């Protein structure tokens, strides 16, 4: 029987068998298959293919490389018992009978209605075309970039076609999914943002439409130093989500006097700014230069997700670095407190990138690290390099700011806020109450600081959860502070996040999920938000969806606080993954908060000795704990969760 294979071209290029299992195959062989298919070619001469794949080398070199590739392809085809290539003395041909492509499905939908085409694009375009291919041949690079532009244009055209129809409500879910997919591939795509604004507005969700516009405007200004195009501004007015026009300041003396700041007026909250500067020196080769550029881009994206610092837009950082003689002056002029300086080095005989974190005003070196950019090592270490750099840079800046508290005559609102965030890394009552005190100190200096208001709500929610007494006043106060945070800054996801958690604990599951959906639109990569969203989904009887959210949160914030692992443990418990839940609990620095859940896990696994020991430890920490009293206030949507938790607690020996 003829074996059928399928070749996927979007995201990581891969070959699969009829069971969907990935089949190893030489990468350049796969790229050749895709090249022939996308160009509509049945065959290609050996000489031309060699120039496509290795165009920058000499003829002798590229022909030798091609012969080696053909040998590997022949060997692999023999092992698979199939023919994907017809290999002749002068040309190589494509055997289409044994192979199908995801591109085939896009071609079949090309002449269909826009909704059908868009569904096909959303289904198959799950990443950039040949996203993991990085050949140095210019011909390959131009071809790949052209194909990417073609598919992104097709996706944008169909999104726009449906979003501007009178009956857009009919296609709202599809347009929304496609627009978010488009933004994953092209972060500044105005068609995607406009489509999302139209969809939310037509459904009466003006707050979400406004949040989308605010996110677009902030991203353009923060990353590119520009503003939305006029057509987008016109659309916001047409949809009635435009920001109100600011009245010009009056010149009347009485008005000016009334608005003049008093000597005791507080300054606005100021987050430290960090600039990631491009490498100095010459890259040892083009590949190293490309790898370094990709690394710095991913580190910049990671730093943009950190809520306690502000990252300077890459364009601004490049302009500062371009003026080498005045770099220090420009950093001072733009009030940039920290600079991440990078430089190439090859002293050890290997391509390396030095990364240094510098305190700009004091000219102090806070951290330095050398990264090996040897291509053979990067597949295993690249992501870890990004996480290490982001985590270390953010952590050193926070530590530096906290160290200044002892020297400051009056710590700033930001420093109090940072101290509170540090206390919240441990989920126990003493640290939660220390955090609350610090948040209140921050609000004394900056009464309109939405982040501190949301943090205050957070401490009240955690105390309600830990004490397990069902204190309604704590949740009422948390709701008040969350609403105040939203009122102070409706574009900040923190207030919505706090409101979502409070509504969860009050048992208002639909209201909680609505709040998190609104917050996620404003901050789709905010790890703390995703972690709380996951917790809500656990209690809303959706532990599978919760695991997806919490795993993404941990990926975004690998040095996460204990509450992430506690949430992941709960999601695994209600999925029946008791051993996985215990593994999550073991990742916590302080396991006391999850000791009841840990006992229930061992109870469900049948280890009575461990379960009973944990039960006794629980009662020493929470002497008033009773199963039915806790289950009576535990917010869950469906009763099976209470039954499953009750069973685990009883098997552990709780009464």
For domain 5-106, give the fold.
Arc Repressor Mutant, subunit A (1.10.10)
For domain 109-238, give the fold.
1.25.40
Any long-range contacts for 15-24 (C-beta under 8 Å, 24+ apart)?
Answer: 23/80, 24/76
> If pLDDT is split at 50, 70 and 90, which confidence band does 382 have?
low
The two structure tokens encoding residue 592: 């006391």
The position carrying tokens 């048992």 is 507
- Residue with the bigger pLDDT between 252 and 180: it is 180
What does the pLDDT read at residue 244? 46
* CATH class, range 273-388: alpha beta
> If pLDDT is split at 50, 70 and 90, which confidence band does 169 have?
confident
Same fold, 5-106 and 109-238: no
What does the pLDDT read at residue 273? 82
* Integer Cα distance of 600 and 652 in angstroms: 6
Q: Which residues pair with 8 in a beta bridge?
A: 14
pLDDT at residue 246 is higher than 50: no
Residues in CB range of 474: below 8 A, 6 or more apart = 460, 461, 463, 464
pLDDT at residue 2 is higher than 80: no
Q: Where are the domains of the chain?
A: 5-106, 109-238, 273-388, 404-524, 557-655
What does the pLDDT read at residue 255? 28
* Integer Cα distance of 511 and 536 in angstroms: 11
Q: What is the DSSP string of 367-391?
A: EEEEEE--TTTHHHHHHHHHHHHHH
CB-CB contact of 15 with 5 (8 Å):
yes
Q: What is the mean pLDDT of residues 155-170?
A: 90
> If pLDDT is split at 50, 70 and 90, which confidence band does 253 have?
very low
329 burial class (0-12, 13-18, 19+ CB within 10 angstroms)? exposed
Lowest mean pLDDT among 16-30, 58-72, 75-89: 58-72
pLDDT at residue 254 is higher than 60: no
What does the pLDDT read at residue 410? 59
**Nearest CA-CA partner of 538 in 580, 494, 573, 578:** 573
146-180: b (≥16 Cβ within 10 Å) or e: ebbeebbebbbebbbbbbeeeebeebbebbbebbe
What does the pLDDT read at residue 491? 59
Q: Which residues pair with 129 in a beta bridge?
A: 10
The two structure tokens encoding residue 333: 């002029």
What does the pLDDT read at residue 263? 35
pLDDT at residue 553 is higher than 90: no
What does the pLDDT read at residue 262? 36
What does the pLDDT read at residue 30? 94
What are 426-450's pLDDT values in tens digits? 777 888 888 898 888 888 877 878 8
Eight-state DSSP code of residue 186 = -
**Nearest CA-CA partner of 345 in 406, 256, 284:** 284
pLDDT at residue 245 is higher than 50: no
What does the pLDDT read at residue 492? 65
Q: What is the mean pLDDT of residues 74-99?
A: 90
Name, of 183-197, 389-403, 479-493, the range with top average pLDDT: 183-197
CA angle 314, 451, 244 (to 5 degrees): 75
pLDDT at residue 465 is higher than 90: no
CB-CB contact of 286 with 136 (8 Å):
yes
Cβ neighbours around 351 below 10 Å, total: 21
Pairing relationship of beta strands 352-359 and 338-345 according to DSSP bridges: antiparallel
CB-CB contact of 502 with 461 (8 Å):
yes
Count the helix, strand and coil residues of the chain and give each as a percent rounded to the nearest 5: 60, 10, 30
What are 302-344's pLDDT values in tens digits? 776 676 777 776 666 777 777 666 667 777 777 788 888 888 7
* Integer Cα distance of 629 and 445 in angstroms: 41
> If pLDDT is split at 50, 70 and 90, which confidence band does 101 have?
very high
* Integer Cα distance of 261 and 265 in angstroms: 6
pLDDT at residue 248 is higher than 90: no
- Residue with the bigger pLDDT between 4 and 269: it is 4
pLDDT at residue 578 is higher than 50: yes
Rg of the chain over all Cα atoms, to the nearest angstrom? 28
- Residue with the bigger pLDDT between 418 and 569: it is 569
Q: What is the mean pLDDT of residues 26-55?
A: 91
What does the pLDDT read at residue 260? 33
pLDDT at residue 376 is higher than 70: no
pLDDT at residue 132 is higher than 70: yes
- Taking the CA atoms of residue 37, residue 38, residue 39 and residue 40 in that order, the dihedral angle to the nearest 10 degrees is 50
* Integer Cα distance of 440 and 453 in angstroms: 8
Q: What is the DSSP string of 576-605?
A: T-HHHHHHHHHT-S-GGGGHHHHHHHHHHH
pLDDT at residue 474 is higher than 70: yes
What does the pLDDT read at residue 259? 30
Residues in CB range of 104: below 8 A, 6 or more apart = none
Q: Which residues pair with 354 in a beta bridge?
A: 343, 370
What does the pLDDT read at residue 583? 94
What are 589-644's pLDDT values in tens digits? 888 888 999 999 999 999 999 999 999 988 887 788 888 888 888 888 888 999 99
CB-CB contact of 161 with 202 (8 Å):
no
* CATH class, range 404-524: mainly alpha
Name, of 116-125, 229-238, 447-456, 549-558, the range with top average pLDDT: 116-125
349: left (phi > 0), else alpha (psi -120 to 50), else beta? left
Residues in CB range of 235: below 8 A, 6 or more apart = 194, 197, 198
């Amino acid at each position: 029987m003829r074996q059928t294979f399928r070749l996927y071209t979007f995201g990581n290029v891969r070959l699969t068998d009829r069971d969907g299992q990935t089949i190893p195959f030489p990468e350049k062989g796969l790229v050749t298959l895709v090249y022939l298919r996308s160009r509509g070619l049945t065959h290609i001469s050996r000489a031309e293919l060699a120039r496509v794949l290795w165009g920058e080398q000499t003829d002798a070199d590229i022909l030798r490389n091609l012969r080696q590739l053909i040998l590997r392809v022949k060997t692999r085809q023999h092992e698979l018992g199939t023919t994907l290539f017809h290999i002749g003395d002068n040309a190589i041909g494509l055997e289409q009978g044994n192979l199908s492509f995801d591109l085939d499905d896009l071609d079949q939908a090309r002449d269909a209605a826009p909704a059908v085409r868009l569904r096909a694009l959303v289904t198959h375009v799950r990443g950039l075309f040949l996203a993991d291919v990085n050949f140095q041949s210019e011909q390959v690079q131009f071809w790949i970039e052209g194909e990417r532009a073609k598919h992104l244009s097709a996706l944008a055209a169909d999104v726009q076609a449906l979003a501007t129809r009178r009956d857009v409500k009919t296609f709202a879910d599809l347009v929304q999914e496609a627009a978010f997919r488009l933004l994953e591939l092209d972060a500044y795509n105005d068609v995607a943002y406009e489509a999302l604004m139209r969809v939310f507005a037509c459904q009466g969700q003006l707050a979400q439409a406004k949040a989308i516009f605010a996110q677009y405007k902030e991203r353009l200004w923060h990353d590119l130093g520009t503003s939305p195009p006029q057509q987008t501004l016109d659309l916001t007015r047409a949809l009635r989500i435009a920001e109100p026009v600011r009245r010009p300041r009056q010149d009347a003396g009485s008005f000016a006097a009334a608005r003049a700041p008093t000597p005791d007026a507080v300054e606005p909250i100021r987050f430290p700014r960090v600039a990631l500067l491009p490498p100095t020196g010459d890259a040892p080769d083009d590949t190293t230069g490309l790898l370094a550029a990709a690394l710095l881009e991913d580190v910049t994206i990671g730093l943009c997700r950190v809520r306690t610092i502000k990252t300077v837009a890459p364009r601004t950082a490049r302009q500062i670095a371009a003026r080498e003689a005045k770099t220090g002056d420009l950093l001072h002029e733009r009030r940039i407190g920290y600079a991440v300086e990078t430089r190439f080095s090859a002293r050890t005989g290997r391509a390396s990138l030095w990364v240094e974190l510098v305190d700009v005003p004091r000219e102090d070196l806070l951290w330095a690290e050398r990264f090996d950019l040897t291509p053979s090592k990067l597949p295993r270490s690249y992501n870890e390099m990004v996480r290490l750099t982001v985590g270390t840079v953010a952590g050193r800046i926070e530590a530096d700011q906290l160290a200044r508290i002892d020297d400051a005559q009056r710590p700033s609102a930001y420093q109090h806020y940072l101290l509170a965030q540090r206390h919240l890394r441990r989920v126990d009552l003493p640290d939660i109450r220390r955090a609350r005190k610090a948040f209140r100190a921050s609000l004394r200096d900056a009464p309109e600081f939405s982040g501190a208001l949301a943090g205050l709500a957070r401490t009240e929610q955690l105390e309600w959860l830990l004490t397990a007494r069902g204190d309604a006043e704590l949740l009422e106060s948390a709701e008040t502070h969350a609403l105040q945070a939203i009122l102070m800054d409706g574009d900040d996801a923190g207030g919505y996040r706090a409101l979502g958690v409070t509504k969860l604990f009050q048992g208002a599951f639909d209201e909680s999920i609505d709040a998190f959906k609104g917050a996620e639109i404003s901050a789709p990569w905010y790890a703390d938000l995703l972690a709380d969203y996951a917790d809500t989904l656990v209690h809303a009887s959706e532990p599978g969806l919760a695991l997806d959210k919490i795993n993404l949160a941990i990926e975004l914030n690998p040095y996460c606080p204990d509450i992430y692992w506690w949430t992941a443990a709960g999601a695994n418990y209600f999925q029946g993954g008791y051993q996985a839940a215990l593994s999550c609990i073991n990742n916590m620095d302080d396991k006391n908060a999850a000791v009841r859940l840990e006992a229930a896990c061992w109870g469900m696994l049948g280890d009575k000795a461990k379960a009973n020991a944990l039960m006794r430890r629980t009662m020493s920490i929470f002497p008033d704990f009773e199963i039915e009293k806790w289950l009576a206030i535990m917010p869950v949507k469906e009763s099976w969760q209470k039954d499953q938790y009750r069973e685990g607690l009883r098997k552990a020996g709780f009464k």
